[in-house]
Amino acid sequence: MYVIAGLGNPGSKYEKTRHNVGFQVIDRLASKYHIDMNTKKHKAICGTGVIEGVKVLLVKPQTFMNLSGESIREAVDFYKVDPETEFLVIYDDISLAPGHLRIRKKGSAGGHNGIKNIILHLGTQVFPRVRVGVGEKPEGYDLADYVLGHFQGDEKKLMEEAYDRAAAAVAEILTDGPDKAMNDFN
pLDDT of the residue at 54: 97
Cα distances from 58 to residues 97, 98, 105, 116, 147, in angstroms, run 26, 24, 19, 20, 23
> How do residues 34-69 score in pLDDT, each as one tens digit?
999 999 999 999 999 999 999 999 999 999 999 999
| Position 30 confidence tier, pLDDT thresholds 50, 70, 90 | very high
Structural domains counted in the chain: 1
Cα distances from 183 to residues 7, 15, 83, 102, 130, in angstroms, run 24, 31, 22, 10, 13
> How do residues 131-155 score in pLDDT, each as one tens digit?
999 999 989 989 889 999 999 999 9
Contacts for 139 with CB less than 8 Å, ≥ 6 apart? none
Give residue 165's identity as a one-letter amino acid code: R
Phi, psi of 28 (to 5 degrees): -65, -45
- Which residues, in sequence order, are bridge partners of residue 17? 150
Q: Could you tell me which residues are annotated as the binding site for tRNA?
A: 14, 64, 66, 113
Catalytic residues: 19
Which residue range forms the structural domain that includes residue 100? Answer: 2-185
The CATH number of residue 54's host domain is: 3.40.50.1470
> How do residues 126-136 score in pLDDT, each as one tens digit?
999 999 999 99
> How do residues 105-131 score in pLDDT, each as one tens digit?
999 999 999 999 999 999 999 999 999
The dihedral sign for the CA sequence 169, 56, 95, 161: positive
> How do residues 154-184 score in pLDDT, each as one tens digit?
999 999 999 999 999 999 999 999 999 999 9
